[in-house]
A and B are shown apart, each in its own frame.
Chain A
Amino acid sequence: MSQQTEPRSKSEERAAAVKAATVAVPKPLTFWEQYRRKPQGMVGLGIVIVYVLIALFAPYIAPYDPMEDLYLADRLAAPAWMAKTSAKFKDAPPTIRMNLGPDDWVREEVDDISISPYEFPYFDGVGMEIVLPQTHVVEVEETVEEDTWEEEEGFWASAATDWDPWGLLESNEETEPSPEPEDEYGFDFEPEIDSGIDASAKKLLLTYEVDYDYTPPQTFSFSFDYSVDAPSSAETVIMLELMTPDGEVFDVWDARVYGSVESGTVLVDARDYDLKMRLGQGFFDEPTDILFSERGTYTLRLSSWTDSKEGPVTLMVTPVKFEILGLVHGILGVDHMGSDLWSQLIYGTRIALAIGLSSAFIAIVIGTSVGLCAGYFGGAVDEVLMRIADVLMSIPDLPVLIILGALFGKSVLNIVILLAIFSWMGIARLVRSQTLSLKERMFVEAAKASGASGGYIMREHILPNVMPLIFANLVLRIPGAILTEASLSFLGLGDPRVPTWGRMLQNAKQFGAFTRLAWWWLLPPGIALTLLSLAFVFIGNSVNEIYNPRYRERS
């Protein structure tokens, strides 16, 4: 470099050229420098990096736990954006779910009725402790009251005979409280509590307004638990009503309690026949034809009154859970169990990567060891190992995996091990043939001559030389493992405890994605699988082009 000006002889020039060559040859482009120039490889690497990031940050990307959070919306709910883009799901309701506590209810102020918040264990939200005051009633009127209640108590029977909830409600209000104003003494009740309802019975009325601006849902439900602590002679009525925007009131649930009740559970569900009967419907009618069938403000009314002459009545009510299961939900909708599909997709990345990488790695380890031993030792060892490989190769892998998967139990670990056991043969053959040619080379001879053991030679001399081959094959094995696992999961032999893409597809096939034309359920897992496999194929091919130009063909 410095003697540029000096005239050089031919031999000097040649020496310089050789020197330059020797400088250039041992320092060719590094692997990364070569790899960087492969557009395919870079695309593949980019995709894999994205997948790895998604897998790592799955809990932050996915809003729900795919296995725990169920019933997020009605079964097979469509993606939320379908409500805007698709005519079929135009204005479809999202999931409306609320736990109504003392702060949510609008209360008609009544003296003597005290409501205090009460935290129940195992319940979301805050419940209520309601104390209804003692009533003072003349006995004569009570019989009338009782009769009407008796009638209402048997709503099972009465519902069958063209039962009109609105009419009954009115009859309640008229027959029951009307005698009482006269018997009230010294009580300064507010007369305008509810039209025509007498307040001497100290009716508690909590209302909550729900603005419903969607197409009718398929189902809705109310649920809460309650307990009543009252003198044994007391009669307490609890009632849940729903007022439509038209002002029609439907009694969806009521109970009449004599004395105390330790705990009662209320579950009003649009799918239950109980509610259909109350609404005067037949078995195959839908309550949603009447309730939430039109847009507007629906009013929930929780009311209670008591006839207790021996002391006040304490009512404990857990938060009232009101839910309308949505017909649209999240980014990709939900599956048949109401589990979020977007979360399943995101968490599926983890399993796919874990299974693909680990089983390919195990397969490579087995294959390399077998290939090294067979190639290096030759003779009987070679014969036995290669015959085993041949037999395993002739076994059709999917059928045997189906049987073994079912026999050994459906778990991720089993699948990984089985996949590895049935996929090491190809790499073993490759490594064996490489080893066969490598062991004839001088450096191996030299190592042998200097007394190196077989294990040492294999580890230190042969293994590094087959490494590039192994590396490329490791990458190229991954898509096979991922796809086989997906096939197994799709066939129903996957681990039932983990969300995988194969399982998503299986569920889609099994639970009606086709009849609903739910392409948003079918496409994402399939595309995710394809992209990931393709990325590994890209990387593997690029690595092969760099390291093993002769092995460009995929086996």
Chain B
Amino acid sequence: MGFRSYVIKRLVYALIVLYVILTLNFVLFRVMPGDPTKMIIDPNFTPEAKAELRSQYGLDDPPLKQYVTYMGNLLKFDMGLSFSTRRPVWSELKERLPNTIKLFLCTFILTSLTGMRLGVKAAANPGSFTDRVVITAGLFTHAVPTFFIQLLMLLLFGYYWPILPIHGTMSAPPPAGGWNIFLDRLWHLVLPVTSNMIVGFGSWALYARNTMTEALGQDYIITARAKGISEKDVLYHHALRSVLPPIVTLLFMSLPGMVSGAVITESIFSWHGVGRYLLDATLQMDYPAAQGAFYLIALAVVISNLLADIAYGLVDPRIRVGAGGAK
């Protein structure tokens, strides 16, 4: 099985997952107790007016037809009108998407780089201070609630020493000049990104440390050292290269979790993003908006899973050749 057929298989699989999620999304919002149309149709309307509205919204169509319409609309990114703002959900999401992506990318890159750098350093110097930091951080990363650290940092840097901006993506009157705007936006990223990093880097650091420690014990490292290659080269060109594939895969596999975390981060720092939109829409029972936001998030997760699979296949030929079939 070649790489191409492997990718195609994963692609088909991703589409199936997406399809199932969308179907669930459709079904869930229709089997739930209560009538969602109460939100938009005034109960004082006459029965005729209600029926008229219902047929306008397509709610009287047979479920199958509704389902087909729903799917077709989603393909066109038509998610209907938000109940609360009466604006197209997609145009609302479009506004927020860049913010979320910005936050997400910064967090992702900084967290993974810090984690791997520290992990490699810890593996190179077992028992050192860095090593202990990495081990402790690895323990805490699964035990500390992210939002707690974020709240603490909010309290410290937003209220005790109000030095960092604590909410929003930019200052209320944005500063003049393109460069200043850029810096202002970057400045607003500091707190959300660092707080995520503090909690998140531990798992990657620990993973990198453990795989590196294992790699450093291998024969080829001893050979490399015996050849007189500098320790740095041994570390980064020999050991790290061999453990990079699983780490890269892990990076991609952690994407869904980070998407989940974005909801909390965005709601704590009042970030004008998709995650907070989902939360607000859900709490306000704004179903089209919640559905749309969830669709977007699910799409992101499915794509990142697909990327993880492809990356895995790229870096580990065994997967696409053997294991792919023998699953």
Give A residues with C-beta under 8 Å from B.
387, 390-391, 394-400, 402-404, 406-408, 479-480, 483, 486-487, 490-493, 505, 508-509, 514-515, 517, 519, 522-523, 525-526, 529-530, 533-534, 536-538, 553-554
Contact = CB atoms under 8 A, between A and B. Distances in A.
A537 B21 contact: no
B152 A396 contact: no
A487 B145 contact: yes
13 contacts: A391-B16, A391-B17, A396-B257, A398-B260, A399-B260, A402-B278, A483-B143, A487-B145, A487-B264, A490-B264, A515-B159, A537-B143, A553-B207
Given A403-B294, A517-B160, A530 B151 contact: no
A198 B140 CA distance: 77
A406 B286 CA distance: 11
B142 interface: yes
B49 interface: no
A391 B21 contact: yes
Contact of A517 (B32, B155, B267): B155
B28 interface: yes
A30 to B, nearest CB: 27
A398 B143 contact: no
Contacts of A553: 207, 210
Nearest to B156: A519
A526 to B, nearest CB: 4
Contacts of B267: 491
Contacts of A529: 145, 148
A312 to B, nearest CB: 58
Contacts of B261: 398
Interface string B136-173: 00011011111110011011001110000000000000
A499 to B, nearest CB: 17
B113 interface: no
Interface in B281-303: 282-283, 285, 290, 293-294, 297-298, 301-302
A492 B283 CA distance: 8
B59 to A, nearest CB: 18
Given A395-B21, A407-B28, A536-B143, 6 more contacts: A394-B256, A395-B301, A399-B298, A514-B155, A530-B145, A530-B148
Nearest to B21: A395
Given A491-B267, A537-B143, A396 B260 contact: yes
Interface string B79-117: 000000000000000000000000000000000000000
A483 B145 CA distance: 6
Nearest to B32: A407
Contact of B285 (A402, A406, A490): A406
Contacts of B160: 517
* Top 5 A-B residue pairs of the complex, sorted by shortest distance between their CB atoms: A526-B148, A398-B260, A533-B143, A534-B143, A406-B282
Contact of A509 (B29, B151, B279): B151
B273 interface: no
A478 to B, nearest CB: 11
B165 to A, nearest CB: 14
Contact of B142 (A402, A404, A406, A533): A533
A105 B110 CA distance: 69
Interface in B265-282: 267-268, 275, 278-279, 282
Contacts of B145: 483, 486-487, 490, 526, 529-530, 533
Q: Which of A387, A407, A509 has the most C-beta atoms of chain B within 10 angstroms of its own C-beta?
A: A407
B133 interface: no
B20 interface: yes
B305 interface: yes
B201 to A, nearest CB: 16
B264 A514 contact: no
Contact of B148 (A396, A505, A534): A505
A408 B159 contact: no
Contact of B298 (A396, A505, A515, A554): A396
Interface string B4-48: 000000000100110011000000110010000000000000000
Given A396-B259, A526-B145, A529-B145, A390 B17 contact: yes
Interface string B191-211: 000000000000000010010
B138 to A, nearest CB: 9
Given A402-B282, A487-B145, A487-B264, A395 B139 contact: no
B263 interface: yes
A308 to B, nearest CB: 55
B135 to A, nearest CB: 11
A394 B142 contact: no
B30 to A, nearest CB: 11
A554 B256 CA distance: 17
A523 B149 CA distance: 10
Contact of A479 (B143, B256, B279, B282): B143
Contacts of B278: 399, 402-403
A533 B144 contact: yes
A395 B263 contact: no
A491 B279 CA distance: 8
Given A396-B297, A404-B28, A537-B139, A530 B282 contact: no
B260 A397 contact: yes
A131 to B, nearest CB: 57
Contacts of A398: 260-261, 263-264
Nearest to A382: B327
Contacts of A403: 28, 278, 282, 290, 294
Interface in B123-142: 139-140, 142
A408 B32 contact: yes
Nearest to A540: B142
A110 B319 CA distance: 101
A121 B165 CA distance: 55
Contacts of B28: 403-404, 407
Contacts of A391: 16-17, 20-21
Contacts of B294: 399-400, 403
A533 B294 CA distance: 29
Q: Which of A390, A487, A508, A519 has the most C-beta atoms of chain B within 10 angstroms of its own C-beta?
A: A487
B191 to A, nearest CB: 13
A390 B287 CA distance: 26
Nearest to B203: A554
A390 B302 CA distance: 11
Q: Which of A391, A396, A483, A492 has the most C-beta atoms of chain B within 10 angstroms of its own C-beta?
A: A396
Contacts of A402: 263, 278-279, 282
A530 B144 contact: yes
Nearest to A519: B155
A394 B307 CA distance: 13
Q: Which of B146, B260, B275 has the most C-beta atoms of chain A within 10 angstroms of its own C-beta?
A: B260
B311 to A, nearest CB: 16
Contacts of A493: 282-283
Interface in B206-224: 207, 210
A526 B259 contact: no
B203 to A, nearest CB: 8
